[in-house]
C-alpha cells in the first residue's frame, strides 16, 4: 500500500463560508460584530465564487496585518535612531548615515537604489511563495482561494535547493504542539493586533506628511516632505519611469 506524501493533509480542505466569516467577526470584536458596508464578502472576486472571494479577503487582511505590525515596530525603532552597527554598503555608507536622514520615510529615500531593489525583490519572492500552488502543495497546503488556509506561509526547506536554518513562520517551532483551541484564539488575537497596527502605522504616516493631522502625535513624529506612497525618490532617477512618476504630486 502506498504511503501518503510527507506533509500531505489527511482531509480535503474546506472553504470558509460567509456564516463562518460572521462568526469570526463576532469573536474578534463582539461589540462591532460583522461589519461589511461595501458587501465585499458577496462580491464574486474574479468570478471564482463567494468562498474564493472570502479566502482572498481573509488572506489580504492577515497578510497586511502582519506587515503593519512589523512596520509599526520598525517605525518606532527608526524614529528613535536605533540602528545596526557597521556599514550598509561596500562603498562605505553606514546604517548611522541612513538614520541621520530623518524619519523612517526619509531614511527609505536615503537608501541606495540597489538596496531598495533588493528589498522590493525579496518581498516579491515572499509574495510568490504564498501565491504559488506548487510551493504551497510541497507543505501540504492549497492556495487560499482553492480551499487553503488564509495566512499560511509555506516552508522554505521543501523547495529551496539548500538548507534554511529558520522558517519564516514559527522559526522556533513554538506553535507546533499547540492545541487547536490555542491556535484559534491566537488567530483572533493576531487579527485584532493586525487591525490595530494598520491604524497605527497609517496614523504615523499621516502625521509625518501632514503635521497636526493626528493631534496625539503632534511634535512626536518628524515631518516628511517627500511622496509618502512613492517607492522611489529623486536619487533613483537612473531607473526607468521614476522621473515621470515623481512629476506627479499626490498631495
Q: Which of 10-19, 111-120, 144-153, 187-196 has the lowest mean pLDDT?
A: 10-19
* pLDDT of residue 238 exceeding 80: yes
pTM of the model: 0.87
CATH architecture group of domain 18-34+43-224: Orthogonal Bundle (1.10)
Whole-angstrom distance, CA of residue 167 vs CA of residue 155? 6
**Residues contacting residue 129 through CB under 8 Å, at least 6 positions apart:** 135, 153, 154
What's the rounded mean pLDDT across residues 36-60?
90
| pLDDT over 90, % of the chain | 71
**Residues contacting residue 147 through CB under 8 Å, at least 6 positions apart:** 12, 13, 14, 15, 55
* pLDDT of residue 149 exceeding 90: yes
| Sequence ranges of the domains in the chain | 18-34+43-224
Confidence of residue 5 (pLDDT cuts 50, 70, 90): very low
| pLDDT over 70, % of the chain | 93
Mean pLDDT of the residues in the chain: 90
In the block, residue with C-alpha cell 506587515? 67
| Neighbouring C-alpha atoms within 13 Å toward the C-beta of 85 | 0
Q: Report yes or no: 103 and 221 within 8 Å, Cβ to Cβ.
A: yes
Q: What is the pLDDT of residue 153?
A: 95
Q: How far is CA 199 from CA 164, 196, 214, 247, 249, in A?
A: 34, 5, 12, 29, 24
Q: Report yes or no: 98 and 89 within 8 Å, Cβ to Cβ.
A: no
Amino acid at each position: 500500500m502506498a504511503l501518503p506524501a510527507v506533509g500531505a493533509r489527511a482531509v480535503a480542505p474546506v472553504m470558509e463560508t460567509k456564516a463562518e466569516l460572521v462568526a469570526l467577526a463576532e469573536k474578534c470584536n463582539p461589540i462591532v460584530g460583522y461589519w461589511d458596508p461595501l458587501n465585499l464578502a458577496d462580491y464574486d472576486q474574479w468570478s471564482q465564487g463567494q468562498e474564493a472571494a472570502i479566502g482572498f479577503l481573509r488572506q489580504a487582511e492577515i497578510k497586511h496585518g502582519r506587515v503593519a505590525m512589523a512596520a509599526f515596530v520598525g517605525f518606532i525603532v527608526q524614529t528613535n535612531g536605533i540602528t545596526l552597527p557597521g556599514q550598509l554598503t561596500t562603498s562605505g555608507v553606514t546604517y548611522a548615515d541612513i538614520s541621520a536622514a530623518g524619519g523612517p520615510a526619509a531614511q527609505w529615500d536615503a537608501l541606495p537604489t540597489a538596496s531598495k531593489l533588493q528589498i522590493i525583490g525579496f518581498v516579491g519572492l515572499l509574495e510568490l511563495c504564498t501565491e504559488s500552488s506548487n510551493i504551497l502543495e510541497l507543505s501540504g497546503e492549497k492556495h487560499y482561494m482553492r480551499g487553503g488556509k488564509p495566512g499560511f506561509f509555506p516552508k522554505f526547506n521543501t523547495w529551496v535547493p539548500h538548507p534554511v536554518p529558520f522558517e519564516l513562520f514559527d522559526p522556533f517551532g513554538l506553535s507546533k504542539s499547540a492545541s487547536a483551541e490555542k491556535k484559534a484564539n491566537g488567530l483572533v488575537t493576531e487579527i485584532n493586533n493586525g487591525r490595530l497596527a494598520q491604524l497605527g502605522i497609517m496614523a504615523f504616516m499621516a502625521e509625518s506628511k501632514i503635521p497636526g493631522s493626528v493631534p496625539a502625535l503632534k511634535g512626536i513624529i518628524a515631518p516628511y516632505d517627500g511622496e509618502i506612497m512613492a517607492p522611489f525618490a529623486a536619487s533613483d532617477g537612473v531607473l526607468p519611469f521614476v522621473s515621470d512618476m515623481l512629476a506627479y504630486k499626490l498631495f
